[in-house]
Amino acid sequence: STDLTSTVGYDSIIQHLNDGRKNCKEFEDFLKERAIIEEKYGKELINLSKKKPCGQTELNTLKRSLDVFKQQVDNVGQGHIQLAQTLREEAKKMEEFREKQKLHRKKIELIMDAIHKNRNLQYKKTMEVKQTSSSVSCHTAVSHLLTSFSTHFWQLFLKLAQTKSALEDSDRSYQQNVTTLEKIREEWQKEHIKACEFFETQECERISYFRNALWLHVNQLSQDCVQNDEKYEEIRKSLEMCSIEKDIDFFVNLRKTGNLAPAPVVYENYYNAERNVAPARSPVPVPISRRGPLPTPTSAPGEPDYATVDGYSLI
């Protein structure tokens, strides 16, 4: 501003810096809230995997796949809890960065406040002296006129001499105050430029830190997704090892009661002994045969076929 005592430009910079600090605080609060959500979600997943039955009577390979499934769900839950802790640490870093900038900026603001006060006081004092000097000059002109018409020439001359002396003193004081004000103005301008350069550096640091923090946050979420996919891949690998034939054989071998069918019941005539004939020879028990090969799983109409996409088994 052309007004020496104005701080409108400085005030605008300070307001912008305060807004930037507020924006950092908003992102910090966002991370804290996200951490609460992630921790709650992780704990719910762990409780689900531990307390909710999921195929607990299955046997052999499918049972192992289900065990892997529940373990990986638990691992995913642990991952979300760890992510919550990571987000809290990032929020703490943002808070420390924000407070550090505030502390450093406070020192500069105190210097600027003091120099603004000193500048304004000196400007006010200079203007008062200037007004006094101007007033004394007017009185001197009136005295010159009076000396031509007054009979008390010598008294007026004495007063004129005194007034001239006062004028000279006032003018000298005015010059000194202007000189002092100029020195203060130069000092203020120098400090103002230094403050602006400092504030600009801080703002560059804040934008860079904020941008990097946001980038890091997104990377953390992406990494969490990658880690979750790795856990889900373990489930897919386990399911690939699941064998229908092996599970059926396992069940049969576990529960079998024998490999011979019961013999046929032979008729015996107890009513008429003469009609008794030689009993028919009981057939030799035939071992129970297994049924044919199990059918290959097929897709129902409208469902995708079994396929392999990018190394993943997709149904």
SS3 260: strand
What pLDDT band is residue 287 in, cutting at 50, 70 and 90? low
* pLDDT tens digits along 2-19: 888 889 999 999 999 999
- Asked which of 82-91, 149-158, 295-304 is least confident by mean pLDDT, the reply is 295-304
Rounded CA-CA distance 245/265 in Å is: 35
Average pLDDT over residues 218-236: 91
Which residue has 């979300």 as its token pair? Answer: 80
Q: Which of 220-229, 273-282, 298-307 has the highest mean pLDDT?
A: 220-229
* pLDDT tens digits along 53-95: 888 888 888 889 989 999 999 999 999 999 999 999 999 999 9
Q: What is the pTM of this model?
A: 0.69
Task: State the CB neighbour count (10 A cutoff) for residue 80.
Answer: 21
pLDDT for residue 208 is more than 90: yes
| Per-residue confidence (pLDDT) for residue 307, from 0 to 100 | 42
- Residue 127, sorted as left (phi over 0), alpha (psi -120 to 50) or beta, turns out to be alpha
| Per-residue confidence (pLDDT) for residue 233, from 0 to 100 | 95
Tell me which long-range contacts 115-121 makes (C-beta under 8 A, separation of at least 24).
115/184, 115/187, 115/188, 115/191, 116/7, 116/10, 116/188, 118/184, 118/188, 119/4, 119/5, 119/181, 119/184, 119/185, 119/188, 120/5
Task: Return the exposure string of 87-109: e unless at least 16 CB atoms fall within 10 Å of the residue's CB, then b.
Answer: bbebbeebbebbeebeeebeebb
Q: 11 φ, ψ to 5°?
A: -60, -35
Closest to 97 in 3D by CA, of 215, 214, 202: 202
**What is the average pLDDT score of the chain?**
82
| Per-residue confidence (pLDDT) for residue 137, from 0 to 100 | 54
Strand ranges in the chain using DSSP code E only, listed in sequence order: 307-309, 312-314
Answer CATH for 7-253 from 3.40.30.160, 2.20.28.270, 3.30.450.20, 1.20.1270.60 = 1.20.1270.60
The residue that leads in pLDDT, 55 or 231, is 231
Contact 24, 105 (CB under 8 A): no
What pLDDT band is residue 156 in, cutting at 50, 70 and 90? low
